[in-house]
Amino acid sequence: MISSKTEYKEYVKEDRKAADRVGRKFPLTLFDWPLRYQLALRRAEYYSNCKKSILYKPLVFFFQLRHRIIGNKCGYTIPLNTCGKGLNLAHLGTIIINKNARVGDYCRIHADVNIGTAAGKSGDAPTIGNCVYIGPGAKLYGKIVIADGIAVGANSVVNKSFITPGITIAGVPARKISDKGSSGLIYTP
């Protein structure tokens, strides 16, 4: 959670590194919608968390609205303060994350991913560790824990916890299929 200007700058820097967009100049950012969304997300988090004064209320509203508008264009529904630094949204497409879910640092999320609650349980959302790769179409739901360094295969349905770090899980329902994990699939500092 961003709580200072220094942390905001660190989050933006790490998000750019994770997206492999370090050397790019500002005009190219105009055509990179996932990165534009991430910058809007981080700015909305910064103003919502750090600028509590009544003087900043219009700016807080503006940046939250901008975050929502760009999210609608990209197909992303990611609430504020749910994702750690180094987030990598690989492609445009539907990504839905529940407001109670927690996604760790340096995670890569592909299109058509849903991270939500179990049916009828509004507060039971997943907790995802650091350096996790989530493949296209994966669904993670319920009060589950995903350990650090796990790779979730494409179109997997994860409804139970996996606490062994550095493994690959896939299938419907998901099960361990390999000891490889997410190394080599994502940026790590």
| pLDDT tens digits, 102-119 | 999 999 999 999 999 988
Give the pairing of strands 145-146 and 113-116: unpaired
| 97, two tokens | 């994350």
Element (H, E) at 186: none
Taking the CA atoms of residue 75, residue 77, residue 81 and residue 82 in that order, the dihedral angle to the nearest 10 degrees is -100
Phi-psi region of 157 (alpha: psi -120 to 50; beta: other; left: phi over 0): beta
pLDDT in tens, 134-178: 999 999 999 999 999 999 999 999 999 999 999 999 999 999 999
How far CA 54 is from CA of 8, 70, 80, 134, in Å, comes to 21, 25, 20, 39
pTM value is: 0.92
